[in-house]
Structure formats: structure tokens, C-alpha cells
Structure 1
Amino acid sequence: MSRQIAIIGSSGGNLYNLGGKDPRRLLGEILIQMESADLSCAALQFIAAEASMDQAKPDTRATLYSWKMSQDEPVIAAQGTLQEVNEAARQLDQDIAEQISLGEIDGIIVMSADPEGTNRLVFEAAARHKIPVTGTGGTSMAGIQSRGVHVIAASGTTGTTNRTRAVTFVTSLCKHWRMPYRPVIGSSAGAGTGNDALSSPWKRINLRGIMMASLPGFIAMALILAASKVPGLSSLSTVFELMIKALPVILAVIAAKQVSELDEVSIVAGIVAGVLSTEGGIIGGIIGGIGAGLLVHYIFRKCVEWRFPATTVNIAAGGLAGLISGLAVYFLIAPIALAAGEGIRGLIEMLVSFSPAIAGLIAGLLIWPAIIGGVYHAAILPIVLLEMERTGNSFLGAVDMVGLVMVSAGITLANIVAPRDKGEAAVAAPGFAMNMGFGTFVEAAYPFMFSNKLVFGGAIMSAGLGGLLVGLFEVRGTAYVPSFFAPTLSNNAFGFTISMLASLLCSFLITVILNKLSLGRRPKADVSM
């Protein structure tokens, strides 16, 4: 039979700014971790004010949450002014104290409670029955301990997050009862647990995910590069150089957060590691971030097991993890990572310089099979980002725009202008708008390409033509930006524009012709009587 837990507290003073202002998310994270440990919630008394308790007044709006056994979730028990909610909370305090006296509560989780007011009866009962208590809130926990309550772990709130507090609470209780517990990651917004255990951070290392999540930083850099070319804005070139140095930090933060899944703690570790990894370029940033994420996980777990205060756990995990990983990159890995990046860029430049037109043609012909086969995000996108790290634009980025985005735009436009049936026009219109307006969602062309092999062949041919022109004009550019704006981010606006128009028109004309031929081959309906 699972242990029964009571959750007691309020949105607090300092806690208010560290998760307390969103009570459902705060409580949801605790419930997720409790479920992982086979602990059940038997009672809840949580007062959520609409301001920090340090500034709250009797007329401040507040909400009282209690536990609904039949729904197995937190419910609103009362709403009104803080004074009115406190009155309702005192009745709930009496009810939970009775549960403790009847032996229905095995442990208590506390956050910024009021042992002298709205929670007095609960802690008096907990002291009498030696109920183990764990919680945060320096002042409240000191007051609870002074009443003789059996406190097994106590900490301040500073530096904690919803997840780190929840993991600390449940770890303390499970260690006290010698129960197994594996923290989980998952939505902290309510019901349900994640599928990935916090004890398996290696499984969350995903280079493709790190690259995709970091892409906005590269696009921001490209925008600054374009703006620096405008007369009167040449001073932005120094900003561009600064942003190049920031790219490893961005990648390190993304990597650390994805690997550790410990919110702000992992972000801090990623920043520290990223700053120390800048000499290794974006490869160094990725390595530093992954290392920081792994170390955050292990340091956090060990500190919790050793019963460090939650604030100290966060400081140790975030600070030490970032330092250790970052210093390892700074002194050992940075030269190797930088050389690897330069080697990949050098290889691309060598192939392109040998015959730009042939390189563009081959890249264009292969880019659709690459994205359909899953190779694009795994191999091509990282190379695009490596190219952009140095110059702010990319040869393969230009091929991406002309070979994927413009070809998709041409196919969808054809199915708006000359569809095989009216339903296809409705399907094509949103895709065309996204291709032109955002430089993405090339998958909009899939329904038309997969339903007609000749349209598929036309897409590959059009992409090859666009790639050929990119090579002839020696264009460097990027996708993932509005198509009308993309030429301004390239090194050759005229050449990029011609290449984009050629791909779009070629795929458009091929698709229109094939649609017309398809309509012509359809048997006419028999209208005879």
C-alpha cells in the first residue's frame, strides 16, 4: 500500500517568484514526482495569493486549493480576499489534523507554511504522531522545527525551481522510508508523468534537437549581418562578431537543458559551460553543454541523496557542472573541436570551389531525397550551421531555400491555380503561404509529390536547377526566413533572387502541366438518359 502524503503551504514570499505564482504547475510537478515514487496525495492545503506574501494585504485576492479524492487532483476550495481564504484554510487545517490523528497521513511536504496560523493544528498533530516532514521556506521551517515536528529535510527557497524542489521533497521521504525512487521528467502542468527517467540523461542527447532549437540564434546573426550592410549601419559589424562568439553559448544552454531537464539549474550550467567553450566554436559549445547537462544530473542527485539544503543543491549542481564541463572544453577539447569545425567547412569550400555549378547541381538533386530520408536534419543542417558560424550565411543554406522552400512553393502554387480538384487548392494554400511567408514547411508539397511520381521527379529537377544557379552565382544564403526577405541576407542578392525564381517557376510549370494532363485523361461523366 502506498504512503499517504499531505501537501501544506502557500505561494509564499520568495517562493512566489520561483513558481508560487503558478500553483497548478508547482503542485503538478510535486504530484508527478510522487507518482513516480508510488506516493499518494491524501490531503492538500495550499493558499495561492495574487502577490508575494511579503507584500500581501488582507484584501489581496487569493485562492485555496484542496484535494479531491474522487477526482484525484487539486481543486479550488475557496476564493476571495486573503483574509477570507485564510478563514476557509483554518477549517481545512482542522480536517487534515484529524486525518493525521487517525493515521491517514504518513508524511508531509511543506512550502512556505504558517505553523502559527493557518497550519497550526496540522503541525501540532504532526509533532504528536512523529510524522516525517520535508519542506522549504526558511522562516516557516524554523518555526515548524521549534514545535518539535520530526523534520527530515529543510531548506530555504532561494535558487530552487518547481522540479528541483519536488525531486528534493520526494527523495527525502523515500530515503527516510528506504523506498526506491527514480525521478522523472514530464509536463509539470498537471496530470501524467514523463516517460524518460531523470536517471537516464544519456538517452536525451540529441544533436539534431540541439541544432534545431538553436537555429533562431543563427538567423538572428544573419539578420544582423544583413543590417550591417545598410548604409549608415556599418557599426553593426561589431555586433555580428559578438554574436558569432555567442553561438557556442546558445548551443551549450540548449544542450544542457535538453540533457538534464532541470530547468533554470541546467540553463545556468549551460551558460557557464558555453562561455568557457567559445574557443571551440559551435562544436565546443555542444560538447560543453552536453557535459554540463550530464554533470548537473549527477551532482544534483548526489547532493539530494546527501541531504544538502535545496538551495545548496541547485547552486552546486548549476555552478559546478558548468565549471567542470566548461574548463574541460577550454583546456582540452576546444582546439580539437575548432579544428573539426574548420575541417568540415574547409571540405565544403574545397568541393564548392572545385566546380560551384556541379556542387550546386548535385546538392539540389539530392536535397529532396535527403529530407525525405531523414538525412537533412541529421547531416545537412549541422553543416549549414557550421558554415553560418563563420560568415552568417551558407552555400547549403542557399540550396535549402531554392531546392526545398521554393520548389514546395511552386508545387503548392500550381495546385492553387490549376488543381486537379477543388479540394487540393484548399490543402495547398496554407502551405504556399508558409513557404513564402516563413521560409519553412516544405512538407506542404508532400501530398502532391507522393500522389504523382512525375511531380516528385519535377521537384527534384527543379531543385537541381536552383542548386546549379546557386553554384553559378556563388550564392551564400539561408532558409527559415521570409522568402521575400531571404536575398537581403545573402552575399549575392541578385543571384539568389534569380535562383529562387527559377526553382519556383520550374516546379510550378511542371506541376501545372501534369495536373492538366491528369484532368485530360479522366473519363467524362455519362450524362445520357
Structure 2
Amino acid sequence: MAQSPGDGPKRVAIIGSSGGNLHSHGGDDPARLLADIARQLDAAGIELAAVQFVAAQSSMDHASDDTAATLWTLEPAGPAPTAQGSLSEVNETAGEHDERLAQSLRSGEIDGLILVSADPSGTNGKAVAAAAEVRAPASGTGGTSLATAQALGVDLVAGSGTTGTTSATRAVSYVSGLARRWGLKYRPVIGSGPSTVAEGSPWRRISIRGIMVGSIPAFIAMALVLAISKIPGLDFLSPVFDTLMEGLPIVVAAVAARRVSGLGEVGLVAGAVAGILSAQGGILGGLVGGVLAGVLASYLLTWTLAHRFPATTANIVTGGLAGLLGGLVVHFALAPLTSAIGDGVKTGIEALVEFNPLLAGAVAGLVMWPAIIGGVYHAVILPLVLVEMGEKGHSFFGAIDMVGLVMVSLGITLANVVLPRSSGERALAASGAAVNFGFGTFVEAAYPFLFADKRVFAGALLSAAAGGALVGWTGSEATAYLPAFVPPFIATNKLGMALAMVVACACAFAVTALANLHHRRKQRA
């Protein structure tokens, strides 16, 4: 018989397989699937007592006895693979675990089951029969297997198919049903990683910095198309650039909703729907629409499962309705405001540069290194760069970024390749310089040299200010996160951008080389 509430936390076992349809819905990633369930069990105060999960390398709909498979069981560190071989061999080993699970259910050591595309008539037959015998509640997914389990007398408290679900949302469904049956207080933990319990509310997962950083690849794709379209004979790519510009709000919305909801593909779909409806509000419209969709998705999933919606229906309702509602709010109410703010950012930066371009560029360049070291860059400057690019495809601050950070870092690292303070620093500098030049990022490569010598740090500030002044003076706009030879091709002033990049790099190189020479002479003396 099952334990009474006073006997301690409820204990459950996860049994089943990577399934047929499930295989393409997370069953092919058993580590994540089992970790998601364990996370939700922990949030409900339910103890994971055992695991018997057969993971095949192909869908069970097409698997044979010779298909490679792995048995996952519960180890001290958590669910882990413990046996490998053909499917028939692994099923035989799983059968031994099945017998032990049945005994644990009858003795009351295990209070319930989570059935994940289980095999009630075969590999999991003894455990399922024992659960039916002692009336231990079970939750699960897998239409055919759950129907068989119910026919055998299992007390199914939450069940659904797998279509349209994810490992995260299925886990919430499993644990919601068990927690409801046992009268346990349960708040779903959305997301992954060690901080998710503390950050259960979707509002706490709103991070402009995180959303913008996650969206960077789309902006870089747009910038690359712009650069390539400038090559003679490839101007037919200009419409592709325009299409990418129009699609950027959708990308931002999808990233925002996925991050805020913590629901993986469900949040991604909600964000895409919201982004399509929010696109006329620009980048900020997509951002707001995606955040709204993510928040609504999180709450809708919890609400639908609490009202006993099947997991498949809960996912469809959550993904579609959250995206629709969030997008409609922006489409009919907030788009004019977000569009005006985006235009205001662009106009404000342009006005600042026009007022005194030389001074504006120099000051912007000067503050770049303190901003990135102090953590301000990703919170303030990067969003400004992406908003500018979303408005016109290039950016004043993007050019400053490339000149004041990337090219200065390149100059510093190159100097330490040619004239290092010690031979051990040459390899470190060379790898950093290669990334600076080849990818237009990883300016942190200069940190060891900046922090080791105040003169190098002062030279970096001076070089960034000089390069920034040239950016402002020549009216150059471009972006970073591109190979160092690309930005001049997309800049509003190609020659001016190239000049600013060369001057910043050369100045940083010269100051660093002189500082290193002085250090080496002191060492010899």
C-alpha cells in the first residue's frame, strides 16, 4: 500500500522509452527529457526514486531487435545511461529493473509512476500491473500505451499524446497531475539550469541584454547580405537585404518569447506569431510583442494543465493563443509608440553626431572600453546598435564598436605577437588577434594586456578616441561582429571607415609595442 502523507515525500519512478512519435519530440534526447522531469518533480517536493528508460537510436515505430539502444537508470548523480547494446539486449536488462520496480510499488517504497511512451504489455508490464494492483496514481504521454495501461486498471491522473509537446511541457503535465492527486503545492519551474527555481516567474526572465545578444546572428546575416550586395554584379541581393530588414522584428520576438516563457519550441512559435503581428512596430515592437507572448505562454500553460487540458492541447493553446494575444496588443495599440521610439533613437543619434561629429565620435570611442569592462556595453550600447541597424541597416555606434573595440584589441594583440613582454604571451595574443580579425569580436582577448600595464590601457583609450573621432568626422556608419575587412564595404563612407579602422589599430599597436619594449629593457637591466 502507498505511504501516508506523514511518511515523507511522495516517491515516483519514471518508466518508458524514447517512443515512436515521441522520438521526434524529445525522445531522442533522454538526458534532457529526464532532467526536465526531475526538475519539475523537485519543484513539487516529489522524490525521484527510480528510472527505467529505454532509449533507441531510431523511432520505436521502425526499430528492430538489432537497433542500438541504451538503458537509463537512476544513479547517485541522477539519471544516467547504464547499459548499451541491441534493443533486445537492453529490453532484457530493463526487464530485471521492471521486476524490482514492481516489488517497490507493492511495498510502498514507490507511490506513483510517470509513463513515458511505456510498454505496459512488455518491458514495463510488471511495474504497470503492480501500480494497478495497489492503485498507485500514474501520469504520462503516449496515446496507445496509456490506453493499454488504463485497460489494465492503472489510475491515470494525467495523460496525453505527444504531438505538439516538448520535454519541458510534458514534464509539467506529468507533475501537475500527480501533485493535484496528492494535494501538493506545485508551481512549475520554467527554463533550465541551476537558477530556474529562483527565477520561476516569467517576469524575472525578461532581459533586454539577453534577448538582444541572442538576436545578433540575424543582424549579422543582414549586414553580410548588405556587404555582398555592394559587390559589382551582386546588386540583385538588395531585395534580400530588404526582406531581412522586415523580418528582424520576428526574430527578436521569437528569441524574446522563447527566453521569457522558458518553453522551448512552444515559446518560439508564440514569439514568431507575435513577431509577425508586431513587425510594423519595428525592432522594439517585436521585442515587446515577444515579451508579452512569453509571459502569456508561461501563465497559459500552467492554467491549461491545472484545468486538466491534455498536454497536446495545452501546448497548442499556449503557443498559438499567447502569440496571437501578445501580437495583437502591439499590432493595434503599441506599434505606433514602439516605432516612434525606434525613430527617436535613430534621430537622436544622428542629431548628436551632426551637432559636433568629431567630438561625438571621440567621446563615443573613449567610453567604449570602460563600458564593456564595466558591463554597460551589453546593457546599453549593444541594444542601441541593434535598434539603429533595425532602422537603417547600419549604425554609428556599430562603427564605433568596430573601430574603438575590435580594431584596438587587434592592435594590442598584434603588438604582443610581434613584440611580446614574454614569449609565453605570444600564443595567447595570436589566438586573440585571429578571432578579432576573422570574426570582429572577442575584444576580451586584450584584457590580459590592458590590465597588466596601465600604459597599454591608456593607449587603448587614446586609440579608441582617435578612431571614434575619425568615424564621426567622416560620417561613417557600419557594424561590428564581422570580419575586419568587411565593415568598410557596408559603411556609409567606405574610405572614412577604413581610415578610422587603420588609425585605431596602428595607434594601439604602437603604444603597446613601445610599452612592451620598455618593459623588456627594464627586465634585462
Normalising to structure 1: TM-score of the pair?
0.94
Q: Which residues in structure 2 correspond to 1:95-174 (within 5 Å)?
A: 95-174=100-179
**Structure 2 unmatched runs, 5+:** 1-7
Q: 1:79 aligns with which of 63, 81, 84?
A: 84
Task: Give the aligned partner of residue 434 of structure 1.
Answer: 435
**How far 1:128 moved relative to its partner?**
1.6
In structure 2, C-alpha distance between the alignment counterparts of 1:122 and 1:371, rounded to whole Å: 57
Say if 1:124 and 1:476 are closer, same or farther in 2 by CA, change over 3 A: same
Q: What letter is aligned with 2:261?
A: S
Partner of 1:527: none
- Distance change in 2, residues 1:420/1:289 (3 Å): same
**How far, CA to CA, are the matches of 1:320 and 1:126 in structure 2?**
37
Counterpart for residue 493 of structure 1: 494
> 1:305 & 1:153 partners in 2: Cα distance?
10
1:20 partnered with 2:21: no
Which string of whole-angstrom CA distances, capped at 9 and with x for unpartnered residues, describes residues 348-380 of structure 1? 111222332232122222222222232222222
Conserved 8 A contact 1:171-1:304: yes
The answer for the alignment partner of 1:400 in structure 2 is 401
Aligned to 1:58: 65
CA deviations on 1:358-411 (whole Å, 9 max, x unpaired) are 321222222222222322222221111122113221111111111111111112
- The 5-angstrom pairing of residues 379-394 of structure 1 reads 379-394=380-395
Kindly tell me: are residues 87 and 416 of structure 1, through their superposed partners in 2, closer, same or farther at Cα, counting changes over 3 Å? closer
The number of residue pairs the alignment matches comes to 518
Partner of 2:3: none
Post-superposition Cα deviations, 1:114-163, rounded to whole Å, max 9, x if no partner, equal 22222222222212211101111111111111222111111111111111
| C-alpha contact (below 8 Å) 2:257/2:290 kept by paired residues | yes
Compute the displacement of 1:112 (Å). Answer: 1.2
Distance 1:78 1:457 in 2: 59
* Conserved 8 A contact 1:185-1:197: no
2:5 aligns with none
Q: Within 5 A, what are the aligned runs for 1:24-43?
A: 24-43=31-50
Q: Report if aligned partners of 1:185, 1:193 keep a CA contact under 8 Å in 2.
A: no
1:472 aligns with 2:483: no
Residue 198 of structure 1, CA deviation: 5.9
Q: CA deviation at 1:450?
A: 2.5
Aligned to 1:67: 74
Q: List aligned pairs for 1:240-279, cutoff 5 A.
A: 240-279=241-280
Alignment counterpart, residue 4 of structure 1, candidates 4, 7, 11: 11
Match of 2:235, SS?
coil
Q: 1:46 aligns with which of 26, 38, 53?
A: 53
- Secondary structure of the residue aligned to 2:62 is coil
Deviation at 1:236, TM superposition (A): 1.3
Whether 1:410 aligns to 2:411 is yes
SS of corresponding position for 2:139: strand
Output one character per residue of 1:57-87: Cα deviation in whole Å (capped at 9) or x when no partner: 233222233334xx25335454333233333
Structure 1 spans left out of the alignment, 5+ residues: 525-529
Distance 1:460 1:44, change over 3 A: closer
Shift of 1:195: 3.8
Separation (CA, whole Å) in 2 of partners of 1:273 and 1:516: 57
Distance 2:323 2:372 in 1: 35
Q: Residue 179 of structure 2 contacts residue 185 of structure 2 at CA under 8 Å; is this kept in 1?
A: yes
C-alpha contact 2:31 2:80 (8 A) present in aligned 1: no
Deviations 1:248-293 (A, max 9, x none): 0111111111111111110010000011000000000000011111
Contact 2:282 2:391 in 1 (8 A): no
Distance 1:470 1:426 in 2: 32
State the distance in 2 between where 1:62 and 1:381 align: 46
- Identity over aligned residues, as a percent? 53
2-structure distance, mates of 1:375, 1:76: 43
Alpha-carbon distance between aligned partners in 1 of 2:362 and 2:417, rounded to the nearest angstrom:
28
**CA offset at residue 225 of structure 1?**
1.1
CA–CA separation in structure 2 for the residues paired with 1:374 and 1:506: 25
Q: Which amino acid counterpart does residue 356 of structure 2 have in structure 1? A: S
Contact residue 13 and residue 52 of structure 1 kept, 8 A: yes
Q: Given the superposition, is the C-alpha separation of residues 130 and 390 from structure 1 closer, same or farther in structure 2, using an over 3 Å criterion?
A: same
Does the aligned pair in 2 maintain the 1:182–1:198 contact within 8 Å? no
**414 and 8 in structure 1: CA distance in 2 versus 1, 3 angstrom threshold:** same
Are 2:94 and 2:123, in contact at CA under 8 Å, matched by a contact in 1? yes
Q: CA 1:196–1:419 in 2, change beyond 3 Å: closer, same or farther?
A: same
Q: Deviations over 1:41-61 (max 9, x none)?
A: 223222222211111223322
| SS of the residue 1:235 aligns to | helix
> Relative to 1, partners in 2 of residues 1:421 and 1:78: Cα closer, same or farther, differing over 3 Å?
closer
* Matched-pair contact (CA < 8 Å) for 1:277–1:329: yes
From the superposition, tell whether residues 426 and 80 of structure 1 become closer, same or farther in structure 2 (CA, over 3 Å). closer
Shift of 1:15: 0.4
Q: Secondary structure at the match of 1:105?
A: coil
Confirm or deny: 8 A CA contact 1:398 1:475 kept in the other structure: yes
Q: Partners in 2 of 1:346 and 1:285 — Cα distance?
A: 20
The answer to whether the 8 A contact 1:90-1:119 is kept is: yes
* Aligned-pair CA distance for 1:421: 2.6
Relative to structure 1, the CA distance from residue 325 to residue 349 in structure 2 (aligned partners, 3 Å threshold; closer, same or farther) is: same
Distance 2:249 2:40 in 1: 33
Give the partner amino acid of 1:475. Answer: S
CA contact (8 A) 1:435 1:483 kept: yes
Alignment partners' CA distance in 2, 1:399 and 1:75: 49
Moved more, 144-153 or 416-425: 416-425
Q: Which residue of 1 aligns with 2:282?
A: 281
- What is the distance in 2 between the residues matched to 1:267 and 1:493? 38
Per the TM alignment, residue 193 of structure 1 is displaced from its structure 2 partner at its CA by 4.5
Q: Distance between the aligned counterparts of 2:248 and 2:434, measured in 1?
A: 30
**Separation of aligned partners in 2, 1:424 and 1:78:** 46
Cα deviation code 1:224-261 (max 9, x no counterpart): 11122222222211111111111101111111111111
